[in-house]
Amino acid sequence: MNERWHYTDLIKAHKLFLKEEGRFKFYDAYLKARDPNVWLQSSDVPLKEGLLLFGWVHSWQPNFEGDLANFLQIHKTLLPSLKVFGNETLIAIDFTDATKDSLCEIFDSIALCTRKPRYGKQRFESTAASKILHVLIPKLFVMWDRAIRRGILGDAERKSAREYAYEFLPEMQKLAKTFLDSYINEKGGDYESAAREIGKMTDNYTLAKVIDELNYDRFTLRKSLAVIRSTPLA
């Protein structure tokens, strides 16, 4: 990813995403309907919150095979680990090996929220895990899908927790910082203020979310950079 990025590319990508992908309304509706704090406060999450979450995942992934009862039990086990990252952001997090190992464990557990099969191998919901983790901690986790994995990692089947934590998220942090650097070079400030100002220009979505939208435009919708950059800012 050696392109010369400017922060306005991110804003344009957001506007193009809203124009091309009507399902963004499902994301907005879910964020308005949910309790944003409940998942990191208690292991006894109201059933309504679980149904809202899984309903949103299904709205994007009709083939999602998550089992809600299994997921809620996994969440109880993961809650102490999730709380550690509750205030982290994509920009500020320090990707030490210990941090990446913890993220691996969390991702692996979430991705196995499926029904336990009587025969064969349990389904590993890699794409769904990234979506679930994003809405649990939306300033940190960036979503991915098959096309994005191919575009970023070079192989759609590279979908393990280790590849997400050790390669994908650190790469997304580097990408995010290039946008913030371009803003700071023009407008001044620091990473925190730059992220806040870009957020104001992208409907108050998190930086992690609009990074996903850029990836989605490029790799899932297959929009060229020329198309993205031709999108009007207004």
The residue ranges of every structural domain in the chain are: 7-229
**Distant-in-sequence, close-in-space partners of 17: CB < 8 Å, separation ≥ 6:** 24, 213, 214, 216, 217
Work out whether the CA dihedral 147, 1, 210, 166 comes out positive or negative: positive
Gap between the Cα atoms of 184 and 182, Å rounded: 6
149: exposed, middle or buried (C-beta count within 10 Å: 0-12, 13-18, 19+)?
Answer: buried
pLDDT given at position 4: 87
Ordered per-residue pLDDT tens for the chain, 234 residues: 557 899 999 999 999 999 999 999 999 999 999 998 899 999 999 999 999 999 999 999 999 999 999 999 999 999 999 999 999 999 999 999 999 999 999 999 999 999 877 677 888 999 999 999 999 999 999 999 999 999 999 999 999 999 999 999 999 999 999 999 999 999 999 999 999 999 999 999 999 999 999 999 999 999 999 999 999 998
Gap between the Cα atoms of 71 and 50, Å rounded: 9
Measured distance between the N- and C-terminal CA atoms of the chain, rounded to whole angstroms? 27
Gap between the Cα atoms of 92 and 69, Å rounded: 33
pLDDT given at position 2: 53
Q: How many Å separate Cα 218 from the centre of its chain? A: 16
Cβ density class 196-216: b for 16+ within 10 Å, e for less: ebbbebbeebbbbbbbbbbbb
